Amino acid sequence: MADQRLSLQQRLLQKLSPQQIQVIKLLEIPAMQLEQRIKSELEENPILELIEGDDTDDNYDNESDESQSDDEFSLEDYMNEEDIPNYRLATNNYSKDDKQMDMPYSSGVSFHDSLIEQLGLSELNEEEKLIAEYIIGNIDEDGYLRRSLFSIADDLAFHQNIEVKLEDLERYLEIIQDFDPPGIGARDLQECLLLQIMRKKGKDSTCLASKILQENFEEFTKKHYDKIIKKHDISEEELKEAIDEILKLNPKPGSSYNNPMSKSNQVIVPDFLLDNLEGELQLSLNQKNVPDLQLNGTYLDLMRSYAGNKKMVSKDKKEAMLFMKQKLDSAKWFIDAIRQRQHTLTVTMAEIIRFQKEFFEEGDETKLKPMILKDIADLTGLDISTISRVSNSKYIQTHFGIYPLKYFFSEGMQTDTGEEVSTREIKSILQVCIANEDKRHPVTDEKLALILKEKSYIVARRTVAKYREQLGIPVARMRKEL
């Protein structure tokens, strides 16, 4: 058996303190989430309160007024909670004849609920409606039935103990495909567009569009218009009218279901405000919804009085003193973390504005210089991870629009003269070239690379393809129009 020995070792480790962790967490959240974070801290920590006269939020005003009122809870109220009898916490001010009724509230109808409502108007018996409802449950949010009818038949047999033929499932699916919005229940894009085009009647272009979707769907998706014209013996103008009819259709009919009750709008609250006053840039933090905090004087006085009479303090009050001491430290750390957050944000944004001064003065995207996180980290003396947290999910409001901070960071490349330019400038030139191209003969990536070379930007074809994909622009073949 090996000998067991005890030994002492001295090691130097680097660990984050709770205060540093709190600063990091506050630094990476935007202004709107900071407001919620302060609210929750105010609810959890009685030592924290708002500075009097702060009218940023009515709720905060009410809380601060209550904290300064004569009826404020004292330390004894927290200590004697367990001694309160139950009858003081119960209410019995209702008569036996009173009815307890919940007030109904308005709610929107979901996409699948609307299909089930339409199913109730169909001439099907209860078992057939149960099967059709199961089919509706397999339709996704885009409006497609992506599962095969054979799999649905197996599920009905195993889970519902209902045996149904594939022919009957096809019939039930056809009933569902007549529901609104048009195109619901399609199994692929071709069937979805056909279901919608069949609802339209009375136009020659609609009939031609139906033929194209049925017989030449692959050629249509690949924009081989010459083959379609040759097969159907039509003119370019007739094909253009048919394609216009197809382009009016919705490839995702489920997403067109407009439910105002479930609509979610993203609200952007800028963290920085930049004003251009007579050619001079002035930066400020958006503190509109961020209140100023201070320590509650009542609790501080209690702690001083108990600290002066330690011998006369009972065991319960010592525990209360320890609780208040912990909350006091937490409140100080939180206030310091808020101030450090404001200082870090201001210093970082000021260096970004100084680095990209030409852009912030004119708002011209071509004036953006290549800038990476390390550039700002070197200028501010902060760590790269800190700069990354500052730039994440933060926005700045300028006199020419609201921009995310990540917008100003981009890679750089050199021109043939050795000048370093931002990749955003190259992307802007690509957008202009593609917007002004002849749609009958779109510009290929190779031609775009040659155009950039003529403008002194040496960029490879594959790099042009990468920038084009980042801009969300399809290849030349898919940009072709008649």
Torsion sign, CA atoms 340, 341, 345, 346: negative
**Does residue 336 surpass a pLDDT of 50?**
yes
* pLDDT classification of 67: cutoffs 50, 70, 90: very low
Based on C-alpha coordinates, what's the Rg of the chain?
Answer: 34
Neighbours of 115 (CB within 10 A): 24
The residue written with tokens 């194209």 in the block is 212
- Cβ burial of 92 (10 Å; 0-12, 13-18, 19+) is exposed
Coil, strand or helix at 195:
helix
Name which residue leads in pLDDT, 289 or 428: 428
CA distance 17 to 28: 17
Most confident of 203-212, 293-302, 377-386: 377-386
- Of 10-14, 394-398, 405-409, 462-466, minimum mean pLDDT range: 10-14
pLDDT at 86 over 60: no
Alpha carbon distance, N-terminus to C-terminus of the chain: 88
The residue assigned the tokens 């339709």 is 139
Residue 395 DSSP SS3: strand
DSSP calls for 278-292: TTEEEEEE--TT---
Q: What interhelical angle do 126-137 and 166-176 show, nearest 10? A: 70
> Is the pLDDT reported for residue 81 higher than 50?
no
Give the amino acid at 391.
S
Closest C-alpha to 41, from 388, 298, 285, 336: 336
Give residue 351's pLDDT. Answer: 92
pLDDT value at position 348?
A: 92
Q: Is 118 exposed, middle or buried (0-12, 13-18, 19+ CB in 10 A)?
A: middle
Neighbour tally for 374: CB within 10 Å:
10
Name the token pair of 61.
């005003």
pLDDT at 56 over 50: no
Q: How far, in Å, CA of 49 to CA of 298, rounded?
A: 11
The answer to whether the CB of 383 falls within 8 A of the CB of 377 is yes
Max mean pLDDT range (28-37, 188-197, 249-258): 188-197
Q: Which two tokens stand for residue 381?
A: 């003396």
Q: What is the DSSP-derived secondary structure letter of residue 405?
A: G
**Contact, 356 vs 368, CB < 8 A?**
yes
Considering only the C-alpha atoms of the chain, give the largest distance between any 2 of them, rounded to a whole number of Å: 106
Mean local confidence (pLDDT), 185-203: 83
Rounded CA-CA distance 482/467 in Å is 26
Q: What is the DSSP letter of 478?
A: G
User: Which of 410, 285, 260, 281 has the alpha carbon at shortest distance from 345?
Assistant: 285
Element (H, E) at 414: strand 412-414
Stated as kind and residue range, the H or E segment containing 50 is strand 48-50
Q: For the ranges 12-21, 28-37, 132-141, which has the lowest average pLDDT?
A: 12-21
* Average pLDDT over the chain, rounded to an integer: 78
